[in-house]
Structure 1
Amino acid sequence: MQRTFALEEIQDVARQILSQNLKKVVTFHAEMGVGKTTLIKALVGELGVRDMASSPTFSLVNEYEGHNGERIYHFDLYRLHTEEEAYDMGIDEYFYSGDWCFIEWPEKTPNLIPIDHAAIHIKLLPGGKRLLELRN
């Protein structure tokens, strides 16, 4: 799936992504400030989370409860120094739990990301629009 969008369309983009029979582990690839966290907040909202979602920059992971009690984990791995740090926190248990895992900065743990995952790439375009590519 490919889509060009403005930030005002983010909820519609989230609905479209979730309609793609999305895999439960999703990596997000983009430069800082392009909108990874904003998109994840929209996805979490579409999955039924009513609490305000926020970036887990300092905690590394935030946990939410969606529709029917399903678990959603939002990871921001930017501050990790080594894969061993992630492994020590039990990150692999989250990734193989069958629950939603939205992962920012997955390049920090390339050997720990499950092979069977979806990837979202976002690029900032001139004029402020974004180009999103989903590989599911």
Structure 2
Amino acid sequence: MEITFSLEEIDGAAQKLLDANIKNIILFHGSMGAGKTTFIKALARRLGVKDMTGSPTFSLVNEYETEDGKTLYHFDLYRLNSEEEAYDMGIDEYFYSGNLCLIEWPEKTPNLIPLDHTAVSLKELPDGRRQLTVN
């Protein structure tokens, strides 16, 4: 699946992803500034999260409650120094909790990512819109 969208269309693009056959573990690939955090915020809005803050850059993971009482975890692994550091924080427990896990910079923990996941790539187009590809 491929979706091209502008910032004004981001909520609709997020809903299209949620309507697709996606897994509970969603990996977000893209360069710095591609819009990973912004897209994850749109996903959270579509799920009814009311108190979404920014990216969990310093805490590595933020936990949110969706409108229907489910838990959503948002990971930003950019500042992670090693897979061991992620393992020590109990990242595998989050991944196998059955809750939705949205993961930025998953390439920092390639050996810890569950095989059963959805991979999303985001890139900025020359006109400023974003192209989202689901693998």
Class of the TM-score when normalised by the shorter of the 2 chains: over 0.9
How far residue 131 of structure 1 moved from its aligned partner, in angstroms, is: 1.1
Partner amino acid, structure 1, of 2:78: Y
* 1:48–1:66 Cα contact (<8 Å) kept: yes
Q: Name the CA distance, whole Å, in 1 between partners of 2:19 and 2:9.
A: 16
Name the CA distance, whole Å, in 2 between partners of 1:18 and 1:90.
26
Matches within 5 A, 1:1-136: 1-135=1-135
Cα distance between partner residues in 2 of 1:48 and 1:5: 21
SS in 2 for 1:69: coil
Aligned length, in residue pairs = 135
How far the C-alpha of 1:52 sits from its partner, in A, is 3.0
Structure 2: 5+ residue stretches without partners: none
2:27 is paired with a residue whose SS is strand
Q: TM-score, length-normalised on structure 1? A: 0.96
Structure 1 position 21, deviation (Å)? 2.7
Per-residue CA shift, 1:33-62, capped at 9, x if unaligned? Answer: 110000000001111101133210000000
Aligned-partner SS, 1:120 = strand
Q: Which runs of 5+ in 1 are unaligned?
A: none
Note if contact 1:44-1:53 (Cα within 8 Å) is conserved in structure 2.
Answer: no
Give the percent of matched residue pairs that are identical in Structure 1 and Structure 2. Answer: 64
Say whether the 8 Å CA contact 1:118–1:134 is kept in structure 2.
yes
1:8 shift after superposition = 1.3
Instruction: Tell me, in whole angstroms, the C-alpha distance in 1 between the residues paired with 2:96 and 2:107.
Output: 18
Cα RMSD for the two superposed structures: 0.8
Letter matched to residue 103 of structure 2: I
Deviation at 1:71, TM superposition (A): 0.3
Amino acid at match of 1:77: L
Which stretch shows the higher mean deviation, 20-29 or 83-92? 20-29
